[in-house]
Structure formats: C-alpha cells, structure tokens
Amino acid sequence: MIPRFAPGVRLHEDKARARWIVMAPERMFIPDDIALEVLRLVDGIRDEAAIVALLAAKFDAPVEEIGADVGAMLEDLIAKGALAHG
Amino acid sequence: MADAPLALLAELTHRCPLRCPYCSNPMELARASSELTTAEWARVFREAAALGCLQLHLSGGEPTVRRDIVEIVAAARAAGLYSNLITAGVLLDAGLMARLVEAGLDHVQLSVQDADEAGAERIGGMKGAQAKKRAAAALVRQSGLPLTLNAVVHRQNLHNLSELIAIALEWGAQRLEVAHVQYYGWALANRDALLPTRAQLDAATGIVDAARLANRGRLVIDYVVPDYYAARPKACMGGWGRRFLAVSPMGEVLPCHAAKSVTGMVFPNIRDTSLEAAWTGSDAFNAFRGMAWMPAPCQGCAHAERDWGGCRCQAFALTGDAAATDPACALSPHHAMLAAAVAEAGEARFRYREFS
C-alpha cells in the first residue's frame, strides 16, 4: 500500500503554537508524536514497507514491531479521512 | 491576553451576481472603489499567519469577481494559510479553475440555493445560475480539489432538503453544510419570509440524521441549527474575539462578519493599524472578551464559558443592546420575542439584497 494524503489534506507547521497540524477542509486535527513521524514520511511515492524500514532504522527497533504500529496508525489516519490508499 | 485566532474570513468584495435575501453582508454594501488592493490583502494574510491563523476563508460577495483572485490565492499560499474559496460558482470556468489550483487553492465551498432549479433562481435572484453551479461543481471535481456544498435552508426551500442532499452526492461533494438562516442584516429584514415552522425544522433534523447514517464514509453533513426554537444560545464564533476574525472589503477588522450590524461600535482598519494590534489591543475586540461584561442572567451561569452569552449581533438586533443576553437563551428577559417572531412569519415575497 502506498499511502497518500486525501484531497485537500496536508501537514502544516503551526509555528505560533510550536506544533504540527493536519489541515483539512474546514477542520484540522493535531497528530500525536507517532502519527506525526508516519505522516512526515507520506509522500505518495513511498509504500508502507519503505516507511516502516525508515522508522525502524531511525528508532533502532525491530521491523516487525514498527510494522505493526505503522499499520495500525495508517488504518486510523485513513478512517479519519486524513490519508487515502494510493 | 487574547489567545491566537485560528481562522480569518477575508470578505474580498461585496459585489455578487446573486441577490440572496439572506446575504450575510451588511445592509450598506461596499463599492468596488473602496476595496483593499492585492498588496493590502497579501499583507493581511502575512500578518494573520504570523498571529497564528491557520485557515483562510476567501469570501464576499462573490470572491471571483475580483480580477486578482488568482494572485490573492497565491498570496494566501505564500503566507502559509490553508485556503478555502467560498463561491457561488457562476463565474468559474476551466481556465480560472486551473489557475486557482496552480496558485495553491486547497478547497472549494460552493453555494446552492435550492434543489429545484426555478426555486434556486428565484431565491438567488439570478437566471441560469443552477446550470452554472452544476458545471462549477464538475470543474472542481475534475481539478482534484475537495468540494463542499453549502445549502442555506429556510421556510421556502426546506421541502426540498432530501433533494439537496441528493444533489450534493450527484455533484460529487465530500461535505455538505446544511445551514439554517441566521437572522442579521438582510436575513433579519426577510425574517417573515425565511423563518421555518417548528414542523419544518423537526422534519429537516430527521432528514439530516437519516442521511448522515445512510451516507457514512461518502458524505459528511454539517448541520447548523436555527436558534429561534432553542432554549440555549449558540456559542457564536466560539466567543467574541476568541478564535476568529474577519476583514471586510474596505479593511475593517471584525470579530465576526455580522459585527458591523452593531451600530455605534468602531472597528479598527488594517489601513491604519496592524492585524495584531486590532486583535489584541482594540476596544472593539476587547469589548466582549471574558465574562466581566456579562449581564445578570450570564454572570455566574454554568453555561457562561460554554456559550459566552450567545451572539452579540443577535442581542443587538433584537434588544438594541449588544451587551444583553442573547434572546435565544431561555434565561433572557427577551426570550419571548423569538416565539412572537415565529408566530408572525409567513410572508412569501423577498426583499433582495442590493446596493443602496
């Protein structure tokens, strides 16, 4: 699966409040730290496995463990309408 | 100290090809010659972003009557704002749509006056509008931008609410706003023709509830309820000067787009001051912040920090005192005015909006 942002959705740095925010049509939500790590790697080109590999390397953690977390996170972000299946 | 605002409504112009009798513009409309320039709007957007605004609503009038609408969208994107074009769609063509997307537009909100073509064109006061709106929706969908349909509902189109929901699906919208008319300015002047009956309101709420369930995952429906039948007022704008600000075509900085209806209040102008100074330091924005200004039914009320005493513009429109409790609240000494207005409604003719 290649995740991509849903139409009209993008990650935005909220400098005034020192946080990142997911902007969507007439709404916005604040991703938690783990969701933010995943969203920063969503570019419509990388597939789920590539995202998992990058995060496993970054956090020096087993691919299986990271893979389960990322899978659940992507499902959640798709359910919220922030991401879509590529 | 005021919190940072989250959203800015930029009313780029009061000019519009439509003449809707519930228009949210003030009764006294601004002429083209007094409108802010492209550079002035770009400055407003930069200052809004620096102040903490995240979302920008480009509205009017009809924002696409501005010849510089593409440059305005580009300025919004350059400032880092998420831009939403609130349009009647009747001036949109493929070339303009492509240039707006190229400039970085994020989202389009398209108005629809009724599901029935003749009804829509009578309410909007423009012949041929419905076909142009249908074409505009197709252009937005083809561009890949998300589309919201905005349906203002009232006594004279609520019988078509199910068909309006069907149009949202047919035209490819992902969101639909079903917004009952709010009564200030033009809408207040047309209240007898617009105010729904209790039976119409209850039927509408039932239709929206059922449609939300039936279209889960396909169409999100936002529902703005009318407060003439309410026991508690709405937390208008999330509270005066708390989350939201508007800038009028001629540069007045307002706590909400209807605030100019509070006659006697003086609003800062971005031609004289910065947006930050207007937001944090002006008398107009500070007038109804916090709870010290609140009258008796609100002082100490458990709802005071939930509804902030309701809507200041409605309080002014109905009682002549902007610092009164919103009559929509059952605790207001003026609450009976709303039932009286409901009893009087039933006029068929509209007073269309026009330049005076």
End-to-end CA distance of chain B: 40
Nearest to B21 by CA among B119, B118, B124, B106: B124
- Residue whose token pair is 């708390």: B242
Residues B178-187: what's their mean pLDDT?
94
At residue B226 the predicted structure's pLDDT band, cuts being 50, 70 and 90, is: confident
- What share of chain B in percent tops pLDDT 70? 100
Decide if B125 contacts B20 (C-beta within 8 A): yes
What pLDDT, on a 0 to 100 scale, did the predictor assign at position A76? Answer: 84
Check if B331 contacts A (Cβ < 8 Å). no
* Secondary structure (DSSP) of B285-352: HHTTSSSTT--TTTTT-TTHHHHTTS-HHHHHHHHS-TTSPPTTSTTSTTTHHHHHHHHH--------
Contacts of A7 in chain B (CB under 8 A): 144-146, 174
- Taking residue A25's Cβ as centre, other Cβ atoms within 10 Å add up to 24
The number of angstroms, rounded, from the C-alpha of B124 to the middle of its chain's C-alpha atoms is: 16
Q: Which of B50, B144, B146 sits opposite A25 (nearest CB)?
A: B146
Task: Please name every residue paired with B317 in a beta bridge, in sequence order, or none if there are none.
Answer: none
Provide the 10 A C-beta neighbour count for residue B202: 12
Does the beta carbon of B205 lie under 8 angstroms from any beta carbon of chain A?
A: no
Helices (H), chain B: 38-51, 69-79, 94-103, 117-124, 129-143, 161-170, 185-189, 191-194, 198-214, 275-281, 283-286, 304-307, 312-319, 336-344
Per-residue pLDDT at B72: 98
At B237, the pLDDT band (50, 70, 90 cuts) reads: confident
Domain ranges of chain A: 3-85
Closest CA to B167 of B149, B146, B145, B144: B149
For B184-201, the pLDDT digits (tens) are 889 999 999 999 999 999
- Beta-carbon contacts of B319 under 8 Å, excluding residues fewer than 6 positions away, are B327, B334, B337
User: A25 vs B84: CB contact, 8 Å cut-off?
Assistant: yes
The CA-based angle B340-B123-B130, given to 5 degrees, is 150
Interface probe, candidates A26, A75, A78, A83, chain B, greatest B C-beta count within 10 A: A26
B106: contact with A, CB 8 A cutoff: yes
Q: Which residue has the tokens 């990322």?
A: A70
User: What average pLDDT score do residues B159-164 get?
Assistant: 98
Report the alpha-carbon distance of residue B352 to residue B337 in Å, rounded: 25
Task: Say whether pLDDT at B56 is over 90.
Answer: yes
Say what the pLDDT of residue B154 is: 97
Average pLDDT, chain B: 95
Residue B191 is predicted with a pLDDT of 95
- Distance of alpha carbon A15 from the chain centroid: 19
Cβ pairs A/B, distance under 8 A: 46
> Could you give the ipTM of this predicted complex?
0.81
Dihedral of alpha carbons B330, B332, B333, B337, sign: negative
Asked if A17 is an interface residue toward chain B (Cβ–Cβ < 8 A), one would say yes
Cis peptide before B104, with omega less than 30 degrees from 0?
Answer: no
What does the pLDDT look like over B118-132, one tens digit per residue?
Answer: 999 999 999 999 999
* pLDDT by position in tens, chain A (length 86): 899 998 899 999 998 899 999 999 888 889 988 889 999 999 999 999 999 999 999 999 999 999 999 999 898 888 777 888 76
CATH fit for domain A3-85, picks 1.10.10.10, 3.40.50.12280, 1.10.10.1150, 3.40.50.2300? 1.10.10.1150
> Cα B318 to chain center, whole Å?
20
- For residue B173, pLDDT over 90 is answered with yes
Q: What pLDDT sits at residue A86?
A: 65
pLDDT at residue number B2 = 76
Do residues A42 and A20 touch, judged by C-beta distance below 8 A?
A: no
User: Which of B3, B51, B106 has the most A C-beta neighbours within 10 Å, making it the best mutation to test the interface with A?
Assistant: B106
CB pair distance less than 8 Å for A8 and B145: yes
Chain A residue numbers with beta carbons less than 8 Å from the beta carbon of B222 are 26
CA B194, B197, B202, B204 dihedral sign is negative
- B66-120 pLDDT tens trace: 999 999 999 999 999 999 999 999 999 999 999 999 999 999 999 999 999 999 9
Least-confidence region, from B110-119, B221-230, B250-259, B260-269: B221-230
Indicate whether B236 pLDDT > 90.
no
- Residue B199: CB atoms within 10 Å: 9
Cβ-defined contact of A25 to B51 (cutoff 8 Å)? no
Taking 80 as the threshold, does the pLDDT of residue B265 lie above it?
A: yes
Question: pLDDT per residue over B312-329, tens digit each?
Answer: 999 999 999 999 999 999
Least confident of B13-22, B138-147, B216-225: B216-225
A28 to chain B, any CB pair closer than 8 A? The answer is yes
* Residue B295, burial from CB neighbour count under 10 angstroms (0-12, 13-18, 19+): middle
Asked if A21's CB is within 8 angstroms of B146's CB, the reply is: no
Q: Is A7 part of the contact surface with chain B (CB cutoff 8 Å)?
A: yes
Nearest 5°: CA angle at B93, between B92 and B96? 85
**What span, in angstroms and rounded, lies between the C-alpha atoms of B47 and B274?**
8
- Interface check for A14 against chain B (CB to CB < 8 A): the answer is yes
pLDDT for B218 equals 85
Q: Decide if B63 contacts B90 (C-beta within 8 A).
A: no
Q: What is the pLDDT of residue A85?
A: 77
- Residue A23 to residue B82, Cβ atoms within 8 A: yes
Q: Amino acid identity of B350? A: F
Whole-number pLDDT of residue A15: 87
